[in-house]
Chain A
Amino acid sequence: MEIELTEREFMYPGHVGCPGCGAAIAMRFVLKALGEKMMMVMPACCWSVIAGPYPTSTLKIPVIHSAFETGGATASGVRAALDMKGDTETTVVTWAGDGGTFDIGFQALSGAVERNEDFIYVCYDNEAYMNTGIQRSSSTPYGAWTTTTPGKDWKKMRKKNIVEALAAHRIPYAATASISHPEDLVRKVQKAHAIKGSRFLHIFASCPTGWKIPSEMAVKIARMAVQTNIFPLYEVEDGLRYTINLKPKRFPVREYFKIQGRFQHLKDEDLEVIQKMVDEDWELLLRKAGEHA
């Protein structure tokens, strides 16, 4: 797949993220895809820190930091003000983590999407509250250790399917993307940019610190999530039309789990349970996309 991407950077060299931070990679590509006519609403998340403390900033675009649970609402207000000022060119983007999206910000997001506010909501998903020190969120996958799901209390619940929740709102556009597939990611950002109304991007953004993997594995682990079907790449238009963007090789999930410190406690039988869940989810997605295994 060929994409056009500007040589320009909208991040200055240097940020305050951990080595190998998937969220920083995600930001770089999204900014390149959108360009400078944008404003970003940033509820509390890793990026509240990554962007740098006052008076520094790694971002070359206007940013308004906001309270944790207000990503959808603050963006609605920014959009309304721009509309009143006659500025229809500037794109409003909310940039939130999984905690700010799946959990505490879910109400404001749902409200904004129900109103079909004209903005792009990006959730970069590192599957836990990483900024506060690896606490479980409703995006944390089944089987994971976190500091609030330690020892035998590893998470026994499934990861919330946020794209399906958004699709149920009949959102004009919702898609998954991964830092391991930048062409697909950039194409989706640009596609979202061309659509009016609420648009949602769910970006898989690995966290070497929280997942307990070497930082040089950041992109590879994300690729493995896609190729095992743990994180399929697909898009949904108007909550109805599903397109699967990549047919994965369907590697067994085992290898993905074995190399991450956060899953070290899992036994073979646990991995079998997880494999079954992943297969089930994939079959369901195929059915929604009108395809068959």
Chain B
Amino acid sequence: MKQVLEGSQAVAEAVRLARVQVVSAYPITPQTHIVEMLSDYCATGKMNAKFLRVESEHSCMAALIGAQSSGVRTFTATSGQGLALMHELLHWASGARLPIVMAEVNRALAPGWNIWVDQTDSLAQRDTGWIQFYCEDSQEVIDTTLQAYKLGESVALPVMVVLDAFFLSHTYEPVDVPSQEEADRFLPPYEARFELDTKNPCSFGPLVPPAVYMEMRHDMAAAMDTALTNFARIEDEYERIFGRRYGAVEAIACDDAEIVFVTSGTITSTARLVLQNLRGRGEKLGILKIKLFRPFPVEEIRKALKGAKKIAVIDRNFSFGASGIFAQEVRAALCNAPVHAPVFGYIAGIGGRDVTPEVLEEIYWKTKNNAVPERESVWIGLQEVRHGN
């Protein structure tokens, strides 16, 4: 049924449809609407779940680790500082092989306080062993959240569904909300591979010597690789029921494109408009949207970028001392490809600054007019700042 929903509400609807049994959360803007709605669902009985109102994000993730280890489906949402505080337990959740699902509403990190969109918070968690999806619109949010449970449970790894603050979390759009019956058909009840059980007492997460630890980590690495192939299969199943699929990446008009934008999140939607405009003026622009960031779909990215003459990666994030993080990853993915185009790195929209069609056109012309990148990262739209008097 079509409903007009915020990205946040789309998350909450998916969590309800997934029949999550334990939700835990701590308040932080801009993820609050998600957990407010879930609180309401738990209070009114629309969801049969226990809501743990913990005293920090750190305790939130710890509570979910305890709950999921006891054999139930769990959920939380967070942003920025909250995700940073959780960092230790993100490693714990993946190491314990718990398919927890978390919505992460990208928020810039302090200081100074900034509640607006910036992907550095979630991308800084790239080595924690979580699967990461970046969503473009509310329909994708609801679909991806449902898929996240199925994918995470298929490989026993946790999944982060990432949304842009405000541009997605607080923007209303028409969304096709699956019926409970359809959702159940896609996502069967959770069956834990292992759980705390008094009839079968086991020790979870004990001291592990060097003779075993490395193999455990290798198992996680293999599970991440499996997640890539499982995602394609899960999308097939999803498409059969709901008629929608997204791909780990989406290549838009890349076949004959001379310049390809690499985008993620809501910037992709703006780029689609710019693509139409520029194509109308005879410019051969393509877009490669990256939806799945971990595991990183290297082969699909190489394939999509094979014919490009220049690649322009647009990063709403930054790794200090290096470059935009998607740019790093794309460069790393391409470096062992037989041939590849130069990768131009652009930093835009940091801390919630709007990335307008004009910004993207500026990036297009900069890329077109330079044979090779001026620098590793070009910051777009910087104002001149005068310090002191």
Contacts and interface: CB of A to CB of B under 8 A. Distances in A.
Interface stretch (B64-72, B276-284, B373-381): B64-72
A61 B67 contact: no
Sort chain A's interface into a size bin: 35 or more
Given A64-B66, A65-B204, 20 more contacts: A39-B70, A54-B209, A61-B201, A62-B204, A67-B62, A70-B58, A70-B59, A74-B65, A76-B59, A77-B63, A77-B65, A78-B67, A79-B66, A80-B22, A81-B21, A81-B66, A81-B71, A107-B56, A110-B55, A111-B55
B208 interface: yes
The 10 closest A-B pairs by CB, nearest first: A77-B66, A111-B55, A81-B70, A70-B62, A73-B59, A77-B63, A73-B62, A77-B67, A65-B205, A74-B66
B357 to A, nearest CB: 46
A108 B61 CA distance: 12
A76 B69 contact: no
A75 interface: yes
Nearest to A89: B198
A45 to B, nearest CB: 12
B50 interface: yes
B322 interface: no
A141 to B, nearest CB: 29
Contacts of A37: 198
Interface residues of B, number: 43
Nearest to B201: A62
B198 A62 contact: yes
B66 A73 contact: yes
A51 interface: yes
A73 B76 CA distance: 14
A80 B67 contact: yes
B22 A81 contact: yes
A78 B70 contact: yes
A64 B71 CA distance: 13
A52 interface: yes
11 contacts: A62-B203, A63-B203, A64-B66, A66-B205, A78-B67, A80-B66, A81-B66, A81-B71, A85-B71, A85-B72, A108-B58
B175 interface: no
